[in-house]
Structure 1
Amino acid sequence: MSHRPQSLRSALAVAPGTVNLAGYDSSATPLAPGKKKATVAASARHAGALGELQERLFAERSRSLLLVLQGIDTAGKGGVISHVVGLLGPEGTTVTAFKKPTPEEAAHHFLWRIRRALPERGMVAAFDRSHYEDVIVTRVHETIPQAEWARRYEEINAFESALSDSGTVVVKCFLNISYATQRERQLARLDDPTKRWKFQEHDIDERAYWSDYQVAYTAMIQNCSTEVAPWYIVPSDHKWYRNWAVGEILQETLTEMDPQYPKRDLDLPRLRRRLAPPY
């Protein structure tokens, strides 16, 4: 009998070293609670647990969590932000979507804009795309020399190691979809008037670079899945599974962090007397 992984993180985490992204089934549903209906119901149950854990993290104010979402266009980064990160309380959450660098950002080191969006103690920050764009897009479109983007892997690992040392837990989810699934989702944007605003013809142009992106993503994961900040390859052809999986990874991570409410040295009898009815 095969050994069943004890957690979704252990099932989806990529060990440091060689990885073959082509060998991952983007339509798989490892450790799902059941079919679609049961899994959607399980996702809804994340709300209570995540809410309590986040409140404890916010109250503790000593650590933070950074969720990094990467994936090709239509992989579902925005969907995870809406359906999973949206379960968290807004007071303790920040969301940053990284687009093409502005002239100001491009004038700085590639990590400059990332550092500005890092979570403060007690906070959860979610990145829709991230510093990894600087070893993906730059490589695929050859906008910088190979020596430069290759050097960035070590810079990123050192950066994430420093974050871990300072109390920020880094959770990196690669949302893995197939070429066919991307086509279906792009067509859905064209067919649905409420989704056409998301469509850009440039996204079709980018499909010509699919193989190049897969090579770049593979190298990203291979070089930057570390002990302190592993990559989780999340099968994302099924949106319902993707949302459950990222929610489960967050819940497992926060449960392991086990944030605690701070102890207060209060004179409770005196404070209760002050709140007594004025008889």
Structure 2
Amino acid sequence: MPRKEILDALSRYTDPFRVTDGKGFRLKDFDPGDTLGLKMDKEEAVELLQRGSEWLAMEQDILYAQDSWSLLLVFQAMDAAGKDGTIKHVMSRVNPQGCDVFSFKQPSSEELAHDFLWRYSRKVPRRGHIGIFNRSYYEEVLVVRVHQALLSAQKIPPTLIGKKVWDERLDDIDRFEEYLSRQGVIILKFYLNLSYKEQKKRFMDRLDKPNKNWKFSASDVRERRYWNDYMQAYEAAIRGTATPAAPWFVVPADNKWFTRLVVAAAIVETLEKLDLAYPKVTSEQKKDLAAAREELKAES
């Protein structure tokens, strides 16, 4: 398939959910149950995702060999939206040697002693690598915004915490991402858009099935009480940081097969647009290769 046709095919799954300008963004304009009218059985979805994962693995191999660009994938979502499963299935064929996954939990005392971006900036992927943030620095304008008592643990001088602290943090994140993009870090941010109704269904499934009990925590239900506060925080975060250089994808998450399809398409499309190529061998390297060939052929 010609390259333009490939990109056109991928854009069908990505364009409806890509946000590159946050002005006027409203979360309610995006349907968590959207599948673009597609209907697939489980086998069809698995096969299509497998093809996408194989394609991604091929692109990653060139990215690693070229050793110039790097790719940062940021995943944010409410509990039970399927972040772990999406990462697992979409990245299943990727070479672990060139991919690092970081899941940011409650900050340590050392991390709290630094600025709020410190622990995340240390994990930005090196050139040629893919870095995955399973939750990220956006937690600093999401969970910390919803539970503002957490802000006091960050030891920030009280005079620096005013009414505009959240706008200031979003500005800081925006500039941080702009800086990274100028250094060759490609940033894709995925908000897995789960509905309130579907989250309850998945929580009940975890409670009803013994082999899924381990996934459930009482804190999940406590956080669900703040659903509207989180939706407002997510809307503000996307509105304040969606740019062409670091777009958000508001991915429907009520149907897991479609979530994974959109995420895979967005990643493959982005790498394909870089027009990656394996490094060219210089004339000196060709001479070395020829000499090595002759030496090996001369062995008894």
TM-score range, shorter chain: over 0.9
Say whether residues 1:134 and 2:140 are aligned partners.
yes
Higher helix proportion: 2
What CA RMSD, in Å, does the superposition of the two structures yield over aligned residues? 1.7
Say whether residues 1:236 and 2:241 are aligned partners.
no
Partner SS state of residue 79, structure 2: coil
> Which piece of structure 1 moves more, 23-32 or 256-265?
23-32
Instruction: Give 1:210 deviation, angstroms.
Output: 0.5
Instruction: Give 1:142 deviation, angstroms.
Output: 1.9
TM-score by length of 2: 0.87
Say whether residues 1:45 and 2:55 are aligned partners.
no
Query: Superposed, which structure 2 residues align to 1:25-44 within 5 Å?
Result: 25-30=31-36, 32=38, 34-37=39-42, 38-44=44-50
Say whether residues 1:273 and 2:294 are aligned partners.
yes
Residue in structure 1 matched with residue 112 of structure 2 by the alignment: 106
Percent identity, aligned pairs only, is: 39
Q: Say if 2:11 and 2:269, in contact at 8 Å, map to a contact too.
A: no
2:164 counterpart (147, 161, 164): 147
CA distance in structure 2 between the partners assigned to 1:80 and 1:202 by the alignment = 22
2:210 counterpart (173, 184, 193): 193
CA distance in structure 2 between the partners assigned to 1:132 and 1:164 by the alignment = 17
For 1:29, give the aligned amino acid.
T
Residue in structure 1 matched with residue 15 of structure 2 by the alignment: 10
Query: Superposed, which structure 2 residues align to 1:122-271 within 5 Å?
Result: 122-143=128-149, 144=151, 145=161, 146-265=163-282, 266=285, 267=287, 268-271=289-292
Q: Say if 1:5 and 1:11, in contact at 8 Å, map to a contact too.
A: no
Residue in structure 2 matched with residue 87 of structure 1 by the alignment: 93
Residue in structure 1 matched with residue 81 of structure 2 by the alignment: 75
Instruction: Give 1:163 deviation, angstroms.
Output: 0.6
CA 60–191 in structure 1, closer or farther in 2 if over 3 Å, else same: same
CA distance in structure 2 between the partners assigned to 1:248 and 1:128 by the alignment = 19
Instruction: Give 1:31 deviation, angstroms.
Output: 7.4
Question: Unaligned stretches of 5+ in structure 1?
Answer: none
Q: Say if 2:20 and 2:246, in contact at 8 Å, map to a contact too.
A: no
CA 23–11 in structure 1, closer or farther in 2 if over 3 Å, else same: closer
CA distance in structure 2 between the partners assigned to 1:41 and 1:72 by the alignment = 27
CA distance in structure 1 between the partners assigned to 2:278 and 2:37 by the alignment = 31
Instruction: Give 1:6 deviation, angstroms.
Output: 4.0
For 1:35, give the aligned amino acid.
M
Say whether residues 1:66 and 2:72 are aligned partners.
yes
CA distance in structure 1 between the partners assigned to 2:37 and 2:293 by the alignment = 49
For 2:31, give the aligned amino acid.
D
1:178-231 deviation line (CA, Å, top 9, x unaligned) = 001111111111122222112110110111100111011111111110121111
Instruction: Give 1:171 deviation, angstroms.
Output: 0.5
Partner SS state of residue 70, structure 1: strand
1:104-142 deviation line (CA, Å, top 9, x unaligned) = 111111110001111000000001000000000111112
> Which piece of structure 1 moves more, 7-16 or 245-254?
7-16
Partner SS state of residue 74, structure 2: strand
TM-score by length of 1: 0.94
For 2:271, give the aligned amino acid.
L
CA distance in structure 1 between the partners assigned to 2:74 and 2:10 by the alignment = 23
Instruction: Give 1:7 deviation, angstroms.
Output: 3.9
CA distance in structure 1 between the partners assigned to 2:231 and 2:279 by the alignment = 45
For 1:12, give the aligned amino acid.
F
Instruction: Give 1:85 deviation, angstroms.
Output: 2.2
Q: Say if 2:32 and 2:195, in contact at 8 Å, map to a contact too.
A: yes
> Which piece of structure 1 moves more, 197-206 or 38-47?
38-47
> Which piece of structure 1 moves more, 98-107 or 178-187?
98-107
For 1:189, give the aligned amino acid.
R
CA 255–5 in structure 1, closer or farther in 2 if over 3 Å, else same: closer
